[in-house]
Structure 1
Amino acid sequence: MTSTTSAGAQPARSLIPARMDRLPWARFHWMVVVGLGVSWILDGIEIQLVSASGFKDSLGMSSEDVGFTGTIYLIGQVVGALVFGRLTDRWGRKKLFITTLAIYLVGSGVAGLAFAPWFLYLWRFVAGLGIGGEYTAINSAIDEMIPSKYRGRVDIAVNGTYWAGAMLGALGSFVLLNHSVLPENVGWRVAFFIGPLLGLVIIFLRRHIPESPRWMLVHGQAEAAERIVDEIEASVRHEGAALPPVDEERAMAVEPEKAVPFARLVEVFFKIYPSRTFLGLTMMITQSFLYNAIFFTYALVLQNFYGLDASSAALYFFPFAIGNLLGPLLLGPLFDTIGRRRMIFGTYALAGAILLASAYLFKIGALTAGTHTAFWCASFFFASAGASSAYLTVSEIFPLEVRGQAISYFFAVGQVVGALGPIIFGHLVGDGTARDPLCWGYVVGAVVMVFGGIVALVFGVDAEGRGLEDVTDPLFRRGKAAAQPT
């Protein structure tokens, strides 16, 4: 079906991308989704564990100390993304999605044994390193192994499962931090083992997930990549599915290359694809700013403006999280049918419009805790799908050889800028006596999201249903004209 050369310096002509994209949905794809998609569930669990702050009194920590526990975890995520993003492009997707999960398991588990704040900070940073690395390796692997017909909905749904993890973490904390169930100094420690226990099960499943054949093709492992695709096709046929013909015109020759110099990486981002870089940065920054601003201050709003106590405010998290989870699951398929640009614009713009309406109603005092939460649910039903599409977009609009690094750099920038959101909005919430400052904060957040949607509509790439190599040529592809700079 394909002709290849031995691993080495010679170009390899292959139909591997075309063969992967023509596959019908099969058990193999479910294994990839379940085995790799758990990363976002783990991240959601981790964020909720810190938010619950059950360790505060046991370790003698102040509120500022608890806040720093969350900050050090986010710093670990950024560092992990930057370090492991480059390694996933050099060493392979599988080595990294095994390694990063193992790092997370150790970091989160040991954090549950903390006896002092500094010990907790150290291991929360390590857990963050693992999850940050997961973002780069997992997004790369999923997009490279899922058929083009399903790539959008799968990537968006997987990213959206963060909120399933957040609900699991909140529920676990609610039960385990109940002092009538477990002693105060025990419950929060047990809670820290929820993620590692889930991860231990998944790490065994990941051992059966192969390396990305696409990555292998551009790293001088063409023959091994062919064998993996042969095995996948054989398993699909064993399930009784018929394989459609391969599009021979999609055959491509790639000259193997071990690594991309940093200078070449800069050229890719700022010379070859400057508008795509602008698109990716805009999407990552806008969604991160809005999410962090609302998510990390919603409890303060409920308490300071609507008079809820901390326990009651925590219950409002669940409908908020459900809206965030349903958005990617229900809207994801439309990104493959209606298309990337139109759906990104629609989700970003609708999220902003609903937030803008809630800002006005909040200003005039027309909302209750319940109705305000309903507006948040509606806004983030769309915003969650849009935010998930940001990771999909960055992953598929840059060359295969730098995919992991592209995700890591854009994720890092988004996280750093997004970290300003809670600081700004926390100040705007104040003591709950003045509504105007927070109202204008909501207006700014809405405008930011609408701007992100407009940028996607103008500069977005119609990647739906197209193979990754058709969206963006590999840097070392031969026998076809290079993609036009954009």
Structure 2
Amino acid sequence: MKFINTDITCRLDSLPWTGFHTRFVFALGITWVLDAFEVVIVSAVLKPMAKSLEFTPQQSSMMVSGFLLGAILGSLLFGYLADKYGRKKLFLITLLLYAGGTFLTGFANSFETALLFRILAGAGLGGEFAAIQSAIDEFVPSRHRGKVDGTITALWNLGSLMASLSAIGLLKVMDEGTAWRIAYFFGGVLALLVVFVRLYVPESPRWLLSRGRLEDAERIIQRLELEVGGRKTYERCEIPVFEGTILDASKIILSRYKWRFLFSASMSFTILTTYYGMITLLPVILSEVYSLSSKEIPQLLTLGSLGGLIGGLVVALLVDKVGRIPLGIAISLASALLSLSFLLGFDIRLTFFVYSLIAFSFASVAYVIATEIYPSYIRAYAIGILSIIGRLSGAFSPLFLVSLSQFGFKYAMFGLAFFWLVGFIAFVIWAFRGMETKGKPLEQIS
């Protein structure tokens, strides 16, 4: 593998926070808001949707699982293309695919058409995740990376909050058979508005370097330095230039970075099995156990989204101070224990809020470390593979937990607690075999 001796990555990390960074993070970070909106709106309006289209319980769970299966396809395809052709080229394609799939779901008139549109939307959003998470890690200065990644991840809960409030409002002003369709129309239009912001996002200089495009990367960093009054450092480092195929990239991830891959795969598994499992159990199983109406489900999701947003923002502030490892260990263990609190007969609103406050903040530390431990030339592809593992697990989780609940509600909650223990064990092992990455440049980590 060839190397380029350059000062560009050091200059990126030396930049103070600017208006560009704020605009950049907003333009790309909005993906998390859209992702959450897409997933939670399904849960919030799943009951009236299922009633309108006459879904069985298994078909209802497939509305979540189908979206995740689409995301698996999108993550693999667009993750590789983002490493091959650049982050920027994929932004508009994936966003348009997601927006179209979401909008068309509002026209679904059967289980088959609804499932098809959910898969299309999932493919678009799966591709978004790989390209955008890579670009954010590669642009943000290392001293800010943890809190920026953590905050963006926490904004997932803002998207879920928007979805819950939208569902509440729609179910109040119109009949259930129409409300769920309007919710999807709104989600599709919302995504299209982001297209205009994306037009001004530059390519990742680190990706350009990994492809040997030194002059293009230099032009971008010079524009950023003009905004802050000139360059801040003259340090240099060696950057690998990758010229291999998708097979070569796979071999590198599974050999040179195999322990990192196992750890980050465990993070993706835990985040998505627990989240998608819970938001499926809520309308399908918990609503029956606690006798919740269609209107009470989005109200409960709103409360959970608020708890997750608060918890996620707190974790985002702590992740560069306390560190990734201690936070990851503490949150995963606490979440496993809180999963069992639903069996104690406490008020469902209080129980769900406390669970969400802790459990929904886990991604703000787990996603940070899982995406920053790979070099730029394979980062998007690695994230794409991780997304596949997570979303495949997430697609399996609702079906598995709903099936367990047929033997008794407690078995589903024990299953949820087990998923949390996977993340806990992975963090404990990483504490001995891995590294604490807070504040370190990406090149030093990889």
Superposition TM-score, scaled by structure 1 size: 0.83
CA shift, 1:196, in A, is 2.6
Aligned AA (1:383) = A
CA shift, 1:197, in A, is 2.4
Give the match for residue 361 of structure 2: 385
From 123, 131, 156, the equivalent of 1:137 is 131
Higher relative contact order (CA 8 A, sep 6+): 2
Give the match for residue 251 of structure 1: 237
Checking the alignment, whether the CA contact within 8 Å between 1:153 and 1:336 is kept in structure 2 is yes
Q: What is the correspondence of 1:161-176 to structure 2 with a 5 Å cutoff?
A: 161-176=155-170
Give the match for residue 347 of structure 2: 368
Q: CA RMSD in A?
A: 2.6
1:107 aligns with 2:101: yes
Cα–Cα, structure 1 residues 370 and 49, in superposed 2: closer, same or farther, change >3 Å? closer
CA shift, 1:354, in A, is 3.7
Checking the alignment, whether the CA contact within 8 Å between 2:209 and 2:239 is kept in structure 1 is no
Checking the alignment, whether the CA contact within 8 Å between 1:80 and 1:131 is kept in structure 2 is yes
Checking the alignment, whether the CA contact within 8 Å between 1:344 and 1:457 is kept in structure 2 is no
Deviation above 6 Å: which 4+ runs of structure 1? none
Give the match for residue 414 of structure 1: 390
Give the match for residue 22 of structure 1: 14
CA shift, 1:462, in A, is 2.1
Give the match for residue 475 of structure 1: none
Aligned AA (2:269) = I
Give the match for residue 429 of structure 2: 455
Q: Deviations over 1:50-102 (max 9, x none)?
A: 22134445545545444333322111111000100000000100011122112
**Which moved further from structure 2: 127-136 or 108-117?**
108-117
Superposition TM-score, scaled by structure 2 size: 0.90
From 224, 229, 250, the equivalent of 1:232 is 224
Cα–Cα, structure 1 residues 293 and 127, in superposed 2: closer, same or farther, change >3 Å? closer
Q: Deviations over 1:248-303 (max 9, x none)?
A: 1x333544x4x432342233223212211121122222232222332321345543
Q: Deviations over 1:113-158 (max 9, x none)?
A: 3344433332222111110001101100100011101111111211
Give the match for residue 445 of structure 2: 471
Cα–Cα, structure 1 residues 399 and 296, in superposed 2: closer, same or farther, change >3 Å? same
- SS of residue matched to 1:13: strand
- SS of residue matched to 2:81: helix
- SS of residue matched to 2:5: strand
Cα–Cα, structure 1 residues 436 and 166, in superposed 2: closer, same or farther, change >3 Å? closer
Aligned AA (2:302) = F
Checking the alignment, whether the CA contact within 8 Å between 1:89 and 1:403 is kept in structure 2 is yes
From 285, 289, 293, the equivalent of 1:309 is 293
- SS of residue matched to 1:209: coil
Separation of aligned partners in 2, 1:439 and 1:190 = 33
Cα–Cα, structure 1 residues 342 and 60, in superposed 2: closer, same or farther, change >3 Å? closer
Give the match for residue 340 of structure 1: 324
Separation of aligned partners in 2, 1:329 and 1:75 = 29
Q: Deviations over 1:210-244 (max 9, x none)?
A: 0001111121321111111111111233xxxxx67
Give the match for residue 372 of structure 2: 396
Separation of aligned partners in 2, 1:155 and 1:351 = 21
**Which moved further from structure 2: 55-64 or 205-214?**
55-64
Separation of aligned partners in 2, 1:355 and 1:196 = 33
Separation of aligned partners in 2, 1:198 and 1:254 = 39
CA shift, 1:18, in A, is 0.6
Aligned AA (2:147) = R
For structure 1, the 5+ residue unaligned runs are 1-8, 238-242, 473-486
For structure 2, the 5+ residue unaligned runs are none
**Which moved further from structure 2: 81-90 or 393-402?**
393-402
Aligned AA (2:100) = V
Q: Specify the structure having the higher radius of gyration (Cα).
A: 1
Checking the alignment, whether the CA contact within 8 Å between 2:210 and 2:240 is kept in structure 1 is yes
Checking the alignment, whether the CA contact within 8 Å between 2:65 and 2:396 is kept in structure 1 is no
Cα–Cα, structure 1 residues 20 and 452, in superposed 2: closer, same or farther, change >3 Å? same
CA shift, 1:366, in A, is 4.9
CA shift, 1:182, in A, is 3.9
Separation of aligned partners in 2, 1:253 and 1:446 = 37
Checking the alignment, whether the CA contact within 8 Å between 2:61 and 2:399 is kept in structure 1 is no
Aligned AA (1:124) = R
CA shift, 1:417, in A, is 2.3
Separation of aligned partners in 2, 1:56 and 1:446 = 29
More helix by share: 2
Give the match for residue 91 of structure 2: 97
**Identity value in percent:** 30
Separation of aligned partners in 2, 1:448 and 1:349 = 10
From 329, 349, 356, the equivalent of 2:333 is 349
Q: Deviations over 1:414-467 (max 9, x none)?
A: 222233332333234348xx5653564355345334323313323333221111
Cα–Cα, structure 1 residues 280 and 224, in superposed 2: closer, same or farther, change >3 Å? same
